[in-house]
Amino acid sequence: MRASQKDFDIAVHRVKLLKEDPGNDAKLKLYALYKQATEGPCNVPKPSVFNFIGKAKWDAWNALGRLPKETAQQNYVEFVSCLSPSWESSSQAGPGASGSWPESEHVVVTSKDGITTITLNRPTKKNAITIQMYHDIILALKAASKDNSAMTVITGNGDYYSSGNDLTNFTKFASDDLEKLSEDSANILRNFVGTFIDFPKPLVAVVNGPAVGISVTLLGLFDAVYASDRATFHTPFTSLGQTPEGCSSYTFPKIMGPAKAAEMLIFGKKITAREACAQGLVTEVFPDSTFQRDVWTRLKAYAKNPPNAMSRGKQLIRSSEKEKLHAVNAEECRVGRESWLSTECTTALQNFLSRKARL
For residue 145, what are the CA distances in angstroms to 45, 52, 73, 123, 345?
40, 43, 22, 26, 36
Query: Based on the domain organization, do 27 and 44 belong to the same domain?
Result: yes
pLDDT over 90 at 126, yes or no: yes
Confidence at residue 357, expressed as pLDDT on a 0 to 100 scale: 62
Query: Based on the domain organization, do 88 and 109 belong to the same domain?
Result: no
Higher pLDDT, 97 or 208: 208
Query: Based on the domain organization, do 41 and 181 belong to the same domain?
Result: no
- Overall average pLDDT of the 319-341 stretch: 94
Confidence at residue 316, expressed as pLDDT on a 0 to 100 scale: 96
- The pLDDT-based confidence of 320 (bands split at 50, 70, 90) is very high
Query: Based on the domain organization, do 129 and 174 belong to the same domain?
Result: yes
Local structure of residue 42 (DSSP, 8 states): -
- The pLDDT-based confidence of 78 (bands split at 50, 70, 90) is confident
For residue 119, report the phi and psi dihedrals to the nearest 5 degrees.
Answer: -110, 125
Confidence at residue 7, expressed as pLDDT on a 0 to 100 scale: 75
Query: Based on the domain organization, do 86 and 225 belong to the same domain?
Result: no
Which of 283, 212, 207, 204 is closest to 246 using CA atoms? 212
Domain end marker among 92, 119, 144: 92
The alpha-helical segments, DSSP class H, found in the chain are 5-16, 24-39, 52-62, 69-83, 90-93, 131-144, 178-198, 214-217, 248-256, 258-265, 273-278, 291-302, 307-318, 322-340, 343-358
pTM of this structure: 0.73
Query: Based on the domain organization, do 81 and 136 belong to the same domain?
Result: no
CA angle 73, 74, 80 (to 5 degrees): 90
pLDDT over 80 at 85, yes or no: no
> Which range (122-136, 158-172, 186-200) has the least confidence?
158-172
Query: Based on the domain organization, do 66 and 106 belong to the same domain?
Result: no
Higher pLDDT, 14 or 274: 274
Query: Based on the domain organization, do 78 and 103 belong to the same domain?
Result: no
Higher pLDDT, 272 or 345: 272
Domain encompassing residue 110: 98-358
Higher pLDDT, 156 or 168: 156
Query: Based on the domain organization, do 219 and 147 belong to the same domain?
Result: yes
- The pLDDT-based confidence of 86 (bands split at 50, 70, 90) is very low
Q: Judge contact between 133 and 165, C-beta under 8 A.
A: no
Confidence at residue 356, expressed as pLDDT on a 0 to 100 scale: 65
Domain end marker among 50, 76, 92: 92
Instruction: Give the CATH number of the domain where residue 159 resides.
Output: 3.90.226.10
Confidence at residue 102, expressed as pLDDT on a 0 to 100 scale: 57
Query: Based on the domain organization, do 15 and 114 belong to the same domain?
Result: no
- Overall average pLDDT of the 339-358 stretch: 79
Higher pLDDT, 198 or 81: 198
Confidence at residue 89, expressed as pLDDT on a 0 to 100 scale: 41
Domain end marker among 54, 77, 92: 92
Confidence at residue 84, expressed as pLDDT on a 0 to 100 scale: 63
Confidence at residue 259, expressed as pLDDT on a 0 to 100 scale: 98
- Overall average pLDDT of the 315-325 stretch: 95
Total domains in the chain come to 2
- Percent with pLDDT over 70 in the chain: 88
> How high does pLDDT run on average in the chain?
88
Higher pLDDT, 187 or 96: 187
Query: Based on the domain organization, do 69 and 201 belong to the same domain?
Result: no
Query: Based on the domain organization, do 80 and 105 belong to the same domain?
Result: no
Confidence at residue 94, expressed as pLDDT on a 0 to 100 scale: 38
- Percent with pLDDT over 90 in the chain: 64
